[in-house]
Structure 1
Amino acid sequence: MHETLEFPDLLRLIDERSTAFRVAVAAAPSLDVRVPTCPGWTLSDLARHLGEGRRRWAATVAAGPADTRPAAAGGDPPRGREELLVWLADSTRHLLDALREAGPDRGCWTGWGTSQSPRTSGAVARHQVQEIAVHTYDAQLTAGAARPLPDEVALDGVDEFLFTCCATTSAWPHEPATVVYHATEGRSWSLRLSADGARAARLAAPAADAADVSVRATAGELVLAMYGRSPVDSLELAGDRRVLDRLIAWDPGE
């Protein structure tokens, strides 16, 4: 049975992953060290990105329903490590305060208008868990101590990525196809690609859906591959690999 995380759990995980991010930043030899999974970025760049992004999402949630995203807040992040860590903690607090004030069902601007995820503060919280978790992995890798994504984050992460980042009403430009994802923890999903777009579904059993290509790995490995942190070839693939390559290369906005 597929169960998505409840709103209090999402808030808890935002706080936990943000704390883990700061621990990795504090442990790194320098803020100038390069981030292997974010080409061209230093750890300082990554930290600034994470903090600025959480502050902007806090403002977005606080603004409520909107057709356009609120303007970003001004001010430059500090450059010293200790000051930066304090600023990062404050960024997390801004986001959590905005989410708690809004609750899970309040509408707000999102960047996934035609996906299968709602345009609500709860959906923002769910996506924030994944953004922060993946960037925490980036920071840990940079500090020389990468760790697997926590199980509850990873399992929800596969589901969230498919329903939020992959699902769209933009027409698939190739012949119709189905990709099936299997997490070794026991959950499976399908992504149907057609002229009607990409639609994700949760499967009751691994054999419940015919696939043109299937992907199998732990949920954490799937999430890291989905976000481009590990190569697709590191996963167990079966079927027509071309479908997966086309999906990875596809930009529905084009």
Structure 2
Amino acid sequence: MAESYSTYCDAIEREVTRIGEVGRSHDLAAAVPCCPDWALADVLRHVGVLQQWFAAMIERRSPERLPFGEVDFGVPAEAADYPEWLVARQIEVGKVLRAADPDAPMYTWGPGGEVRFWARRMAMECLVHRYDAELAAGALTPVDPTLAADGVEEFLVNLPSAVGFAPHVANLRGTGQTIGFGVWGTEVDWTVRLDTDSFGLVPAVADPDATVSAETPDALLLLVYGRISRDDTRIKSEGEADLLDKWFTHSRF
């Protein structure tokens, strides 16, 4: 279901620009309800640093994870300057992304080992953090449903590889139990199986042990990223409660 490389480049530019707009027009000290330790300023700083780190690795076609200390992020001393810094640095990040060969080999922590991994990863990071920023500001705007559905798949594809920086993911083990993820009234559907020594996406099964479905793709994306809970009115879950508890306890990164 992955989108084109240019689609991800466009999404990164659009989402970062929107985060910058929110930062310019709202209180940077506003709390982020779904991230209790963060204020709006923290969202801008995080996205600004992360996009430059991604871009630095892409520009170097780095064969290994690049230490953050090797990148000059230029973070302003004052939070009030974060919005302009974020958007200005995005312009440079965009140039690096669009000049890169999406098929060029490089380090990735998830499957693929190519530049395109990072464009997709960055697009989803920015999409979710745009929600964080808008939620803090009380100014939510629609999420593209196609990109949101792609984000759900990207999350489920990469999650097994996240154990390197999210060791709790290793607790997602079982004896073949399956969880189905979907969107109400559509054919968007993914199935994850938990085995004794691994877990991951598998072809759809007729009767999974548990199911989680959402009213819209963006609601499902927010759910898997822990921005909303299963108690949200946009979410329905059925089947083995212990299995779902295990999944949502250990799947966040």
Q: Shorter-normalised TM-score: what interval?
A: 0.7 to 0.9
Displacement, 1:178? 0.6
Give the whole-Å Cα distance in 2 for the aligned partners of 1:197 and 1:80. 42
The structural deviation recorded for 1:71 is 3.7
**Counterpart for residue 237 of structure 1:** 237
Shift of 1:238: 1.1
Give the AA of the match of 2:224.
M
Q: 1:55 aligns with which of 33, 52, 56?
A: 52
CA distance in 1, matches of 2:108, 2:99: 18
| Structure 1 CA distance for aligned equivalents of residues 203 and 48 of structure 2 | 33
Aligned equivalents of 1:165 and 1:187: distance in 2? Answer: 19
CA distance in 2, matches of 1:20, 1:100: 20
1:232 is paired with a residue of what secondary structure? coil
What CA distance in whole angstroms lies between the structure 2 residues aligned with 1:87 and 1:168? Answer: 29
- Confirm or deny: 8 A CA contact 2:172 2:246 kept in the other structure: no
**Aligned with 2:154 (options 153, 160, 184):** 160
Gaps of 5+ in 1: none
Partner of residue 124, structure 1: 118
Equivalent position of 1:17 in the other structure = 15
Q: 2:225 matched to which residue of 1?
A: 227
Cα–Cα, structure 1 residues 77 and 167, in superposed 2: closer, same or farther, change >3 Å? closer
- Relative to structure 1, is the Cα distance of residues 248 and 147 closer, same or farther in structure 2, using a 3 angstrom cutoff? same
The aligned residue for residue 166 of structure 2 is none
Per the TM alignment, residue 93 of structure 1 is displaced from its structure 2 partner at its CA by 2.2
1:252 to 1:152, Cα distance in 2 relative to 1, 3 A: closer
Q: CA deviation at 1:91?
A: 2.4
Are 2:175 and 1:181 equivalent residues in the alignment?
no
How far, CA to CA, are the matches of 1:16 and 1:252 in structure 2? 25
- Equivalent residue of 1:233, what SS? coil
Counterpart of 2:37 (choices 36, 40, 58) is 40
Q: Distance in 2 between matches of 1:125 and 1:223?
A: 18
Q: Which residue of 1 aligns with 2:103?
A: 105
> Are 1:168 and 1:199, in contact at CA under 8 Å, matched by a contact in 2?
no
2:4 — aligned with what?
A: 6
* CA distance in structure 2 between the partners assigned to 1:146 and 1:58 by the alignment: 28
More helix by share: 2
Runs of 4+ in 1 over 4 A off after TM superposition: 166-172
Q: Deviations over 1:29-88 (max 9, x none)?
A: x2112111221211111111110111111111112141332444235522253x322211
Quote the residue 2:209 is aligned against: 212
State how far apart, in whole Å, the 2-side matches of 1:101 and 1:107 are: 15
The normalised TM-score by structure 2 is: 0.86
* Matching residue within 113, 138, 142 for 1:144: 138
TM-score (normalised: structure 1): 0.86
Residue identity opposite 1:47 in structure 2: L
Q: Is the 8 A contact 2:49 2:73 kept in 1?
A: no
Q: Deviations over 1:194-231 (max 9, x none)?
A: 0241121464xxxx443110011121111101111001
Q: Is 1:135 aligned with 2:163?
A: no
Q: Which residue of 2 aligns with 1:248?
A: 248
Report how many aligned residue pairs link the two structures: 241
Give the Cα–Cα distance (whole angstroms) in 1 for the partners of residues 203 and 4 of structure 2: 18
Out of 72, 75, 78, which is 1:74 matched to? 72
- Which 10-residue stretch deviates more, 123-132 or 57-66? 57-66
- Amino acid aligned to 2:3: L
* CA displacement 1:136-174 (0-9 Å, x = unmatched): 001111111123422122111111111112467968443
Q: Does 1:31 align with 2:28?
A: yes
Moved more, 141-150 or 243-252: 243-252
For 1:87 and 1:199, the matched residues in 2 are separated by 38
